[in-house]
Amino acid sequence: MFSIYIDDSGTSPEHKLTIACGIIFPTKRLPALEGEWNNFLQKEEITGFHSSECLARNPHSDFANWDDDRVKRVFRRIQQITFRYSIKAFCILIYKKDYDEVVPKDMFFRIGESYYTWAVSSVLGLAYDWAVERSVSIDYVFDTADKKVKREIEDALTIAETLYPGNFTGHYSFGKRRGVPGLQAVDLLAWTCFQQGRRARMKQSIHSFAQESWDVYKSRNDGDWCIVQSLSRKGLEDWVKKKYLSPEDIRIKQFKEKLQEARKTKAKKGRSTARC
């Protein structure tokens, strides 16, 4: 049995990239991970870890008075703990401009209304393929999201269940990052991959800590620990040609339409009950 913890970076409207990352841990090793993580938090006198707050030394956070040496040391310590208990990671990067210009609008409707949902769907696919290849089961754990994004994630999982029955329904949950070590661990990976995406896709400069963190992740197991994927514009165009109105795409379209209709019916019944 395995668990994958999934987090995001770059989901704000002003960001030009969106990232979804997942880290796989053997479920039997989670108690040991939790024990070591809690010892780490206690030693550093923090209640939880959040990459962007830590690097920015958010004045309202536990990291307010940290210096560069401490930030760098904590980043490295988190990676050490992550590598000790995890076995695989995935990252999907979406460049929003390409998706806006290449992907038909009704394909967005099928997968989800947000770029993050597209990225999450791809991470789900990679994790599912990984589990099938090894004949193992896997649970999916997400950081607690706002109501709209949570619904989209659940829709993506429901669609995945219709395509691959028995693998998603009852195998996912949402948790608050502050209390879940796996979600705090994947937060650093997601932040790192987002920064690297800015450098690689947008030619922007990034903090030296982000580059150092990226080098550590990418060197793990000779680069095999983490699979990072981002379709080029040409790759995205080819994918759309292959998938658009394919049998699988039509099945997803029909299912999503039924789901939307069921929601409308439920909402109407709810309003009728309220009037009574």
Tell me if 70 is assigned to some domain.
yes
Percent of the chain predicted with pLDDT > 70? 95
Residues 159 and 31 in one domain: yes
**137 plus 262 within the same structural domain:** no
Domain that holds residue 52: 2-232
Instruction: State how many domains the chain has.
Output: 2
pLDDT value at position 272? Answer: 60
158 CB-contact burial (10 Å; exposed 0-12 / middle 13-18 / buried 19+): middle
pLDDT winner (highest mean) among 2-11, 17-26, 142-151, 259-268: 17-26
pLDDT of 276 higher than 60: no
Same domain, 198 and 143: yes
Q: At what angle do helices 181-202 and 208-219 cross, to 10 degrees?
A: 110
Q: Note the Cα 72 to chain centre separation in Å.
A: 24
- Domain membership flag for residue 237: no
* pTM for the structure as a whole: 0.88
Query: Residue 63 domain-assigned?
Result: yes
Residue 210 counted as domain residue: yes
How would residue 270 be classed by pLDDT, with cut points 50, 70 and 90? low
Q: Which of 44-53, 153-162, 222-231 has the lowest mean pLDDT?
A: 153-162
**Is it the case that residue 58 has pLDDT exceeding 90?**
yes
Assess if residue 195 is contained within a domain. yes
Q: Which residues pair with 8 in a beta bridge?
A: 20
The yes-or-no verdict on residue 145 having pLDDT over 90 is no
In contact, 111 and 121? CB cutoff 8 Å: yes
Residue 13 forms part of a structural domain: yes
Instruction: State the pLDDT at residue 95.
Output: 92
pLDDT of 170 over the 90 cut:
yes
The pLDDT score that the predictor gives to residue 218 is 95
What pLDDT does residue 56 have? Answer: 93
Q: What is the mean pLDDT of the segment spanning 131-141?
A: 96
Task: Verify that 20 and 144 share a domain, yes or no.
Answer: yes
- Kindly list the distances between the CA atom of residue 128 and the CA atoms of 16, 166, 189, 258, in Å, as whole numbers in the listed order: 28, 12, 20, 25
pLDDT at 156: 82
How many angstroms separate the first and last alpha carbons of the chain?
A: 48
Is residue 57 located within the same domain as residue 114?
yes
Q: What whole-number distance in Å separates Cα of residue 240 and Cα of residue 133?
A: 26
Quick one: 68 and 159 in the same domain? Answer: yes
Name the amino acid, one letter, at 244. Answer: Y
User: Which domain CATH number covers 23?
Assistant: 3.30.420
Same domain, 148 and 171: yes
